A = this chain, B = another copy of it.
Amino acid sequence: MEIADWRAKIDGLDEQIVKLLCERAGAAAAIGQLKVKTGANIYEPDREQSVLQHVAGCNTGELPADQLLVIYERIMDVMRSLQRR
């Protein structure tokens, strides 16, 4: 495969990744509303740790574990900020 072919593949993957990130953001916002309603804290370190462990277990190996963590820490920062809106 040429670079152009790989890039077309990446574009297709990005379309799916963005769709899933948006769905995830919708779910995070829904949780945020439930937390406000019940007076729960937005920041729940135990749940965040459990998400990171789950995610690490889904790695099929192309991404070094520390690099997947770096991406997911950013995703969770963003999701937490959505819950605070």
Contacts and interface: CB of A to CB of B under 8 A. Distances in A.
Nearest to A31: B6
Contact of A1 (B6, B30, B81): B30
Contact of A17 (B1, B24, B31, B74): B24
A54 B11 contact: yes
A63 to B, nearest CB: 5
A83 to B, nearest CB: 11
19 contacts: A6-B34, A7-B31, A10-B51, A13-B27, A14-B24, A14-B51, A14-B54, A14-B55, A16-B20, A18-B60, A18-B68, A20-B20, A21-B68, A21-B71, A22-B60, A67-B78, A70-B74, A71-B75, A74-B74
